[in-house]
Structure 1
Amino acid sequence: MNRQRSSGRVWSAAVAAVCAVAVLPGQAEAADGPGAYAFDPAAKTVRGTETNADAAELTPGSVYKSSIKPGEKLYYRVDLDDRTDAYVSAVAVPRGAGQVAYGDGITVSIRDLDDSRCGSGDGLFKSAEFPRPVAAYAYRTVEKDDTGPCAAAGAYNVLIERQSKATSSPVEWDLELRYVTEPGLKSGDALPTEAPETWPSASPTPPTGRQKRAGGSGFYEATSLETGEWADTVAPGQTRFYRVPVDWGQQIFATAGLSNNNKSTEYHGNALSVALDNPALGHVGGATTSYSGKPASVALDPLPPVAYQNRYDAASAVSAMRFAGWYYLSVTLDPAVAEHYGDTPIGLTLRITVRGKALPSPYAGDAGIFGVSGADRDMARTGQSAPEAEKSGRMTMVAAGGIGAGSVLVLGLGVWTLLARRRAVAGPTPPPADGRPPYDGRSPQAR
Structure 2
Amino acid sequence: MGRRTGAGRGALGHGWTPARGTVTLCAAAALATFVAHPAWGAPGTEGTPTPYAFAEDDTRAEGATVTADAVRLDPGHTYRSALPATGKRYYRLELDSAANAYVSATAVPGAGARVSSADGLEVSVQDAGGTTCSTGTAHFGPTRSPHPIAAWASRETGAGTYGCKGAGVYYVVVERRVPGSSASTPGDWDLELDYVSEPALDRDGATAPPGPWNSATPEAVLGDPIRRAGGAGFAGASALGRGVWQDAIGPGQTLFYKVPVDWGQQLSATVEMGSSTGGDGFVGTALAMSLYNPVRAHVADADAGYNGAQTSAALEPLPPVDHANRHAVGDRVGAMRFAGWYYLAVHLGAPVADRFGDGPFGLTLRVRVSGTPVSAPVYAGRAAPRDVFAVTAADREEAAPGATGDRGASQGAPGAGAMAREDGGARGDGTGRGGPEEDTGTMRLVAAGGIGTGSVLVLGLVWWTAVAARRRARDRWAG
- TM tier, smaller: 0.7 to 0.9
Structure 2: give runs of 5+ residues left out of the alignment.
1-31, 404-431, 446-479
CA change 1:330–1:108 in 2 (3 A) is same
* 1:299-345 deviation line (CA, Å, top 9, x unaligned): 01111111101111121221111101000001111111112222120
Q: What's the TM-score once normalised by structure 2's chain length? A: 0.73
Matches within 5 A, 1:215-364: 215-364=230-379
The answer to whether 1:376 aligns with 2:395 is yes
Report the equivalent of 2:218. 204
Contact (CA 8 Å) 2:282, 2:306: kept in 1 or not? Answer: yes
Name structure 1 gaps, 5 residues minimum: 1-22, 397-447
**What's 1:27 paired with?**
37
- Whichever residue aligns with residue 191 of structure 1, its letter is G
SS in 1 for 2:142: coil
Deviations 1:100-132 (A, max 9, x none): 222211111110011111122112122222111
Which residue is equivalent to 1:419? none
CA shift at 1:245, angstroms? 0.3
**TM-score (norm: length of structure 1):** 0.78
Q: Distance in 1 between matches of 2:128 and 2:90?
A: 12
Whether 1:73 and 2:84 are equivalent positions in the alignment is no
Q: Does 1:40 find its partner at 2:55? A: yes
Answer whether contact 2:288 2:347 (CA < 8 A) is retained. yes
In structure 2, do the counterparts of structure 1 residues 121 and 228 end up closer, same or farther at CA, with 3 Å as the change threshold?
A: same
Name the residue aligned to 1:406: none
Matched position secondary structure for 1:369: coil
Instruction: Give the partner amino acid of 2:281.
Output: E
Match of residue 176 from structure 2: 162
* Counterpart amino acid of residue 157 in structure 1: Y
Contact 1:264 1:340 in 2 (8 A): yes
Distance 1:217 1:145 in 2: 38
User: Where does 1:409-424 land on structure 2 (aligned, <5 Å)?
Assistant: none
2:159 and 2:302 map into 1 onto residues whose CA distance is 36
Q: Which amino acid aligns with 2:437?
A: E
**What is residue 437 of structure 2 aligned with on the other side?**
388
Q: Is the CA contact (8 Å cut-off) linking 1:26 and 1:223 kept in structure 2? A: no
Cα distance, 1:198 vs structure 2: 2.2
8 Å CA contact 1:128–1:288 kept in 2: the answer is: no
Work out the CA distance in 2 between the residues paired with 1:67 and 1:36: 15
1:377–1:26 Cα change, 3 Å: farther
How far, CA to CA, are the matches of 2:439 and 2:286 in structure 1? 35
- SS at 1:151 equivalent: coil
Q: 1:203 to 1:310 in 2, by over 3 A?
A: same
Cα distance change on mapping 1:266 and 1:112 into 2, 3 Å: same
Superposition deviation, residue 262 in structure 1: 2.4
| Matches of 1:265 and 1:390, distance apart in 2 | 37
Q: Is the 8 A contact 2:230 2:435 kept in 1?
A: no
* Residue in 2 that maps onto 1:83: 98
Are 2:126 and 2:171, in contact at CA under 8 Å, matched by a contact in 1?
yes
- One-letter code of the match for 1:203? T
Q: What's 2:196 paired with?
A: 180
The C-alpha deviation readout for 1:380-430, integer Å capped at 9, x for no partner, is 1125257429976xx99xxxxxxxxxxxxxxxxxxxxxxxxxxxxxxxxxx
Shift of 1:151: 0.8
Instruction: Assess, with a 3 A threshold, how the Cα gap between structure 1 residues 144 and 192 changes in structure 2: closer, same or farther.
Output: closer
Displacement of 1:98: 2.4
What fraction of aligned residue pairs are identical, expressed as a percent?
A: 42
Instruction: Please tell me the residue identity of whatever aligns with 1:126.
Output: G
**1:152 counterpart residue number:** 166
CA contact (8 A) 1:199 1:305 kept: yes
Question: What is the distance in 2 between the residues matched to 1:325 and 1:350?
Answer: 19
TM-aligned CA distance change 1:292 to 1:200, over 3 Å: same
205, 210, 224: which one aligns with 1:191? 205
C-alpha distance after superposition, 1:199-221 (max 9, x if no partner): 11112221222111110111111
Q: CA RMSD in A?
A: 2.3
Q: Secondary structure at the match of 1:376?
A: helix
Q: Distance in 1 between matches of 2:78 and 2:438?
A: 19
SS of 1:379 mapped into structure 2: helix
Cα 1:53–1:307 change in 2 (3 A) is: same
**CA distance, structure 2, for counterparts of residue 374 and residue 77 of structure 1:** 35
Q: What number of residue pairs does the alignment pair up?
A: 369
